[in-house]
Amino acid sequence: MSRRAKAPTQAPAAPATTPLQVSVCWGDMTRSAGDVLLVGHYAGVMPQRAELAVDDWVSATAGGGPEVPRLITEMTRRGVLRGDLGEVQFFPGPDGRLAAVAGMGQPGTFGPSQQRRLATAVAQVIGMLPQTRSVTSVVIGSGEGNLPLELAARDFVDAFAGALQADPRLKVRSLAIAERQLERALQVQRALAAAPTRPAATRQWTLADGLQEVDGGGVSADFGCAMLLAALGLPDDGKPGLLESALQRLPESLRDAVRQRIRGAQANGQPPEAALRHAALQLRLAPPEEPVTRLVPTRMAFTHRGDDLHATAITERTTVTERVLERRVQLALRAAEKLAEASTSSASQLGQRIRRLLVHGDLQSLLQALGDLVLELDEVTASMPWEMLALEGNAEPLAVRRPLARQLRTRYSPRPGESVRGGLPRVLIIGDPASGTGALPSARVEAKELGTWFKEHEVDCTVLIGPPEAGTGAGTEAGYEPAEYVEVVTLLQSGQYDIVHFCGHADYEQGSAERCGWLFDENHRLTGSDLQGMARPPRLVFANACLTSQIKRGNVAAGLADEFFHVGVQDFIGTAWEVPSEPARTLAMTFYRELLPAANRLGAPIGEALREARAAIWQPEQTAQVHAEGAPRAAWAAYQHYGDPASRFVTR
């Protein structure tokens, strides 16, 4: 039996012989000399701190100013900047350099292995840019509640340098780690200096001595106090420091302990400035805090895997990694059905029960805050009535207590769309357009009242009411044009409206996109597919709909939201079950009154406007009499917002 000779294997490419030159920079990273500025980005989380500073730097290319939206923020809002782990997107800066935004994946899922994967992917992508030799980066993944700063810095540099060493085609030769706060810069410098060294033949990176300093650096008040204490304790020209005289005022039993602490903080043989900083690190009182430039919502993600419920969370200061509640999904779904059918009198007690079922104990405290809350949900967890969760000892349900919005992990992602035009928005109102399903007099009243209110407040508003008359096509509501299916689709396709408000019949069938939509005459349904190809989709769709489907067939609001997001709508408000006419009108009127600006008042963000609107109909429900047909369901809880609670419409 003959054997075929093996073909000679190709020798692997020789690794680069020049180690990566690493330095630590104290100051504003946008003022450093790097060819590429690198920051991390969590999926769906608006830019903050270093990423926001880079966003401002990038947006200056477009002229900046209040009328020009931040580019990275807008791309995040619209779902274009996805943030998948290791994905890198580039943005041109005003001086010809580039910003690189590296995806960190979903909040709460970023650990040491993810950081090493990200650093490797970034080095491989940036290193292929032909003119790039230097990179300036923050320590990605070292925010509050995430990876320790020192560990994150060492692991990132090791993985970044290792990827460069393994592929001689990659061009990057230097990496600067930038920190705006002096204390963090010193911690990074010390951590990298203490990293294990390798023999010269296998060394992947070398560290420059001392800190590089550029403009924009800061010193926290706490670290400033530590520096002052260190300065008082350091010897001056061989004489005891000024602290010695101050020690005489302390109880004698404390003096030796303080002297020992100061002595341990001193670094002999270092230049005076370095010695002062070293001592201050030993004497620091508390970690530094960076200023927050915009309110950061609490984000909680709830997804299912089989019958297990998985949850993560991220706040301004804390990241809670994945928590699992085993065998909870079916229990929670059954409880959700009971809660959705509950009367207002029993909703609070049931809301507390389902909160215990849905929310892991480690995440319970995050519900107590009063800022914006964003829930990221999948197709199963979206069917649960999160708005009705109740806290211990608090009468207000969650969505009345704080602004709450949902975001879907969906097969669709919002495509790029134009921001709302300057001035007040243009509004299209569609009232009771269906024929053959029973007239909705209350929907017609709602459409008229809203139209009148908008026009009184100088808002450009088109109001279409009722189906066209059979045979003639004339309107059936005196003084108003009919809401004819083809006409409505044509108006929406024109891209001239910022807000679309619908009050009428809607239908939803889970898994059937062509049957998810608003009912019109002659069995026409307006679905997401009718709106494809719009040059400019509406920014907000409010579906105050009477539903022909029930919640047991799926989450109606989530299904319709998914279809509208497919065509680029940014925010969707809909009802998960049928709402009586009076609270529906009250909520809609309150929402728009809060949303739009008035004399001496800015318009509220969408989340706060809807919270006020929910509260407006929640309060009367607390004292409502039992209806003839039984106790009323919680109308305020039927309203679900999918989108960004912090989004505002342009003010006057």
DSSP 427-489: EEEEE---SSS---HHHHHHHHHHHHHHHHTT--EEEEESPPPTTT---SSTTSB---HHHHH
Q: b or e along 149-168 (b: 16 or more beta carbons within 10 Å of the residue's beta carbon)? A: bbebbbbbbbbbbbbbbbee
Cα(224)–Cα(229) distance, integer angstroms: 9
Nearest to 160 by CA among 178, 143, 135, 187: 135
Cα(17)–Cα(165) distance, integer angstroms: 7
> Phi and psi (nearest 5°) for 352?
-70, -40
Cα(5)–Cα(596) distance, integer angstroms: 79
Q: With beta carbons less than 8 A apart as the criterion, state whether 470 and 441 touch.
A: no
Amino acid sitting at position 540: L
Structural fold of domain 427-642: Rossmann fold (3.40.50)
Which residues does residue 339 pair with via DSSP β-bridges, in sequence order?
none
Query: What does the longest C-alpha to C-alpha distance in the chain come to?
Result: 105
- Residue appearing with tokens 């670290």: 223
- Residue 202's pLDDT is 59
CA dist 283 to 225, 228, 234, Å? 9, 10, 12
- Residue 92's pLDDT is 92
Radius of gyration over alpha carbons of the chain, in Å?
30
Nearest to 297 by CA among 376, 408, 397, 377: 376
Cα(314)–Cα(299) distance, integer angstroms: 5
Nearest to 560 by CA among 595, 587, 522, 529: 529
CA dist 287 to 147, 183, 283, 319, 336, Å? 15, 8, 11, 17, 43
Which residues does residue 343 pair with via DSSP β-bridges, in sequence order?
633
- Residue 243's pLDDT is 64
Q: First vs last Cα of the chain: how many Å apart?
A: 89
- Residue appearing with tokens 């410098």: 189
Question: H or E stretch including 352?
Answer: helix 344-358
pLDDT along the chain (652 residues), means of 10: 42 60 94 94 87 91 60 85 90 93 84 86 94 94 75 91 91 94 89 73 82 86 67 57 66 71 57 61 50 64 93 82 91 78 69 88 85 89 89 82 86 45 81 78 92 92 91 81 92 91 80 70 78 82 70 57 80 86 91 82 85 86 43 76 84 45
Structural fold of domain 20-213: Leucine Aminopeptidase, subunit E; domain 1 (3.40.220)
Q: With beta carbons less than 8 A apart as the criterion, state whether 347 and 637 touch.
A: yes
Tokens of 194: 């203490």
Any idea what DSSP says for residue 473? -
pTM over 0.75: no
Tokens of 506: 């809607």
Cα(540)–Cα(135) distance, integer angstroms: 40
Cα(442)–Cα(428) distance, integer angstroms: 18
Q: With beta carbons less than 8 A apart as the criterion, state whether 297 and 372 touch.
A: yes
Domain ranges of the chain: 20-213, 221-283, 298-402, 427-642
- Residue 560's pLDDT is 74
Amino acid sitting at position 98: L
Beta-carbon count within 10 A of 329 CB: 21
> Phi and psi (nearest 5°) for 519?
-85, 135
Which residues does residue 309 pair with via DSSP β-bridges, in sequence order?
304, 325
Coarse DSSP helix, strand, coil percentages of the chain, rounded to the nearest 5 percent: 40, 20, 45
